[in-house]
Chain A
Amino acid sequence: MRIVSANKIRQVVSDLCVQANLVLRNDVLQQLKRAYLDEAKDAARDILEAMIKNAEIARLEKLAICQDTGMPCVFVEIGENVKISGDIKEAINKGIERGYKEAYLRNSVIADPLTRGTAWYSPAVIHFDFIKGSKIKLTVFPKGFGCENKTRLKMFNPTVPLEEIKRFIIAVVKSAGPDACPPYVVGVGIGGTADYACFLAKKALLRKVHGSKFTVHKLEKELFREINKLNIGPMGLGGKTTCLGVNIETFPTHIAGLPVAVNISCHALRSAGKTI
């Protein structure tokens, strides 16, 4: 049995917080550049250029890509042959505090959702999973709330036509409109239960934008095309680029249902992962 110390986890999480918030994911940056070349409208190009420039300034000057450094979400996949010495949850939250302070990131988490109180850096929303082998994969995903607020879930009947599911997903993007920093990356979770579909929609955003997944790829492509016809465009001021990509994750579900969740990301989709 391999032993990994909680200290090591803390250090890796801390580094990932800094990387995720200061260095825009390369797949996202490439999509912004592609969109810049594709856009015909000057206004839309101007905004995309600002987004590309913003990523460059953030990386070079060690500034947060966006002031909303998010609610930290952490995905932990633990190999079945690894033992962690120490408290892993505490290690993750301490790692977040350290990374956020070190890189001058914003404390955006309040302890009580109703009484609010003083903002702090943690706790993170942590998802644990087990994998084969003796490694641990850690992924930090700071999720901004401008776009998180646009999340929607719908429990469809199992006999629903696919067209209706597509209409729902497109309607969610339409209702986000100019408000949540388009162009978006659209995460979709289909199947499981209500809560699991929401989890899948979030997890889908961790996949490379425009990455392929053979079972649902056709639907991703169709939605990508249709969403980009909405003419919401960068900052909602019109254009060909309403989304940079659509990522769908699926899971088996119950005979009586068909949950579909949509989790939208702003153009500043940030995450960083490391396997130890």
Chain B
Amino acid sequence: MKKIYVPLIGRNFENLRAGDKISLSCVIYTARDRAHQRLAEALKKGKSLPIDLKDAIIYYCGPTPAPKGKVIGSCGPTTSSRMDVFTLLLLKAGLLGMIGKGRRTPEVAQAIKKYKAVYFLTYAGCGALLSKYVTSAKPVAYKDLGPEAIYRLEVKNFPLIVGIDAKGNSVYKERAPK
């Protein structure tokens, strides 16, 4: 596994190719359906955002509560396609990376190419395993949304597969039935 570390200076995900496996150590933010809805509304109205989207990485995740003595509960990815309607706005606002599971619309793939961003996949349905790579977790915005709040996570060697690279190539494209 190739290891990379962010925050990066500039957009260093550009060299990654769909299908590459990497491990990531940096700060990421969780956000799922309703957090996306609120971020998008704020962007449309020109209001300030509770997190800085510039070069940020968003993880489509709503973790379980942390049991006593643990940093976080189970924290796997949720289905990315539900976020597609909001993604263009977020990319335009500077979002650098997304982590989730499953396909994206062609529009999202094009926008990823346009903004030289990246879409990662991580082990789907493996929330207990993935919690091992989270070193700190703190809700930072929309706390009223409970599990859908935005959490700031520090992750160490978080396992990822490049789903859509900065050239817009998708890892799912060549999956023709045998």
Contact = CB atoms under 8 A, between A and B. Distances in A.
Given A106-B64, A237-B161, A229 B75 contact: no
Nearest to A179: B102
Contact of A235 (B62, B70, B124, B145): B124
A106 B62 contact: yes
A253 to B, nearest CB: 31
B114 interface: no
Main SS class of interface, B: loop
A180 B136 CA distance: 28
B125 A119 contact: no
Given A47-B123, A57-B129, A107 B146 contact: yes
A164 B61 CA distance: 38
A276 B147 CA distance: 34
A50 B123 contact: yes
A119 to B, nearest CB: 5
Nearest to A69: B64
B75 A67 contact: yes
Contacts of A107: 146-147
A108 interface: yes
A111 B103 CA distance: 29
B63 interface: yes
B65 A104 contact: yes
Contacts of B63: 67, 106
Nearest to A65: B128
Interface centre among B61, B80, B121, B175 (most CB of A within 10 A): B175
Interface in A42-98: 47, 50-51, 53-55, 57-58, 61-69
Given A63-B73, A67-B75, A119-B148, A179 B81 contact: yes
Contact of A67 (B61, B102, B176): B61
Given A63-B127, A65-B74, A66-B74, A231 B146 contact: no
A106 B147 contact: yes
Contact of A236 (B102, B131, B176, B177): B102
B145 to A, nearest CB: 8
B10 interface: no
A116 interface: yes
Contact of B123 (A54, A63, A230, A236): A54
A104 B66 contact: yes
Given A179-B101, A231-B175, A267-B125, A66 B76 contact: yes
Nearest to A267: B125
Interface of A: 47, 50-51, 53-55, 57-58, 61-69, 103-108, 116, 118-119, 146, 149, 177-181, 229-233, 235-238, 266-268
24 contacts: A54-B126, A57-B128, A57-B132, A58-B74, A62-B67, A65-B128, A67-B61, A67-B74, A67-B127, A69-B74, A104-B73, A105-B65, A118-B144, A119-B146, A119-B147, A146-B79, A178-B101, A178-B102, A178-B103, A180-B79, A231-B178, A235-B124, A266-B125, A268-B125
